[in-house]
């Protein structure tokens, strides 16, 4: 029998005993966590939560930014004291008219009677403009006043600057296509934020021969983006409505009647801004200021409308008087 080889297992790997054994944790004893790690984890969690909260607020502002400048009312609780006809127009795909308005015929109409397309401001409804419409009727014109979508009896959704511009164009198309009124006799009249709509409408439709802007609000976007704690948000990126009066007037070359304030009263903050913008507007233009609200200013308002329409909607003339600035008589 062969003898055992003492070196037979010499190539086998021998287990080494570690110099020091790692003690096992005692059962039930919690592991120790570094406190600074907890602080860092909490800080990261709070930062992420605040970021998502900030983005959520930005999204809400972006979706509801129209409410910073537009304040529609659904009620029609006041109507004109002169004869008028309620109108529904601009049929949707379903065939249901989306927009509502008032047709106020001139007291003594003729074939040359101008038609005022009245575009009210960003608050209330047509009822808020009744006093102006009654007074404007004295200028011997037809008047078509409309409520944009979201205002008065016009259909939803809520208004935006883009939708209001579309509705203004729809009103013009209604006058031309349905009532067969020549575009050359139609005058867009914009009050407040509606002044920007009227100016842009005239820019896009050169067949409109003149435009009237009544007490525009040149600071609407600035006021909306700088109010309250708005400085914490990128408001200029979030607010979708701009109503930029200066941009609308910059390339508006049709004759313009620019009313720097209302015969019913005005906001002092608008006066200087409007006058500066009106001075920069291209000619021809007629700028009218009303020194005091009251009967004298109301009569000056009517006469200014008549004078402007007689001048620029009459037969074409090669000799036009130079533009001027006038003021109503002081009371």
Per-residue pLDDT tens digits for 137-148: 999 999 999 999
Mean pLDDT value across residues 15-39 = 63
CB 105 within 8 A of CB 159: no
Dihedral sign (CA 216, 306, 111, 85): positive
Lowest-pLDDT range of 61-75, 119-133, 153-167, 244-258: 61-75
Within 8 A by CB and 6+ apart from 154, the residues are 98, 99, 100, 146, 147, 148, 167
Averaged pLDDT of the chain: 82
Residue 327 has a pLDDT of 47
Residue 215 has a pLDDT of 87
Residue 161 has a pLDDT of 94
* 202, pLDDT greater than 80: yes
What is the pTM (predicted TM-score) of this model?
0.79
Q: How long, in residues, is the chain? A: 331
CATH number attached to the domain at 66-327: 3.40.50.1820
Residue 261 has a pLDDT of 65
Residue 207 has a pLDDT of 96
* 225, pLDDT greater than 90: no
Question: Pairing relation of β-strands 97-104 and 85-91?
Answer: antiparallel
Mean pLDDT value across residues 238-254 = 87
Confidence of residue 98 (pLDDT cuts 50, 70, 90): very high
Mean pLDDT value across residues 33-49 = 82
CB 294 within 8 A of CB 288: no
Residue 203 has a pLDDT of 95
* 276, pLDDT greater than 70: yes
Please report how the helices 194-204 and 161-173 are oriented relative to each other, as an axis angle in degrees rounded to 10. 60
277-298 pLDDT per residue, tens: 888 889 999 988 876 667 778 8
């Amino acid at each position: 029998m062969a003898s055992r080889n003492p070196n037979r297992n010499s190539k086998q790997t021998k287990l080494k005993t570690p110099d020091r054994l790692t003690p096992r944790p005692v059962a039930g004893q919690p592991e120790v966590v570094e406190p600074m790690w907890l602080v860092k984890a909490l800080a990261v969690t709070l930062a992420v939560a605040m970021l998502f909260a900030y983005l959520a607020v930005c999204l809400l502002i972006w979706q509801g930014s129209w409410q910073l400048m537009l304040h529609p009312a659904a009620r029609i609780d006041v109507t004109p004291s002169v004869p008028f006809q309620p109108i529904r127009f601009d049929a949707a795909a379903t065939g249901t008219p989306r927009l509502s308005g008032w047709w106020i015929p001139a007291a003594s109409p003729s074939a040359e009677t101008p038609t005022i397309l009245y575009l009210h401001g960003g608050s209330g409804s047509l009822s808020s403009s009744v006093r102006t419409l009654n007074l404007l009727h004295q200028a011997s014109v037809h008047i078509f006043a409309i409520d944009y979508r979201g205002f008065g009896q016009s259909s939803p959704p809520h208004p935006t600057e883009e939708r209001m511009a579309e509705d203004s164009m729809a009103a013009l198309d209604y006058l031309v296509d349905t009532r067969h009124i020549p575009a050359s006799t139609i005058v867009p009249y914009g009050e407040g934020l509606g002044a920007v709509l009227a100016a842009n409408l005239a820019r896009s439709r050169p067949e409109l021969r003149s435009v009237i802007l009544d007490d525009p609000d040149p600071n609407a976007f600035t006021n909306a983006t700088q109010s309250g704690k708005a400085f914490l948000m990128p408001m200029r990126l979030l607010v979708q409505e701009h109503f930029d009066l200066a941009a609308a007037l910059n390339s508006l070359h049709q004759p313009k009647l620019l009313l720097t304030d209302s015969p019913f009263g005005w906001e002092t903050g608008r006066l200087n801004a409007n006058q500066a913008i009106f001075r920069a507007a291209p000619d021809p233009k007629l700028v009218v200021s009303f020194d005091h609200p009251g009967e004298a200013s109301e009569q000056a308002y009517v006469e200014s409308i008549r004078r402007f329409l007689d001048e620029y909607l009459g037969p074409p003339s090669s000799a036009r008087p130079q533009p001027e600035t006038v003021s109503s008589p002081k009371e």
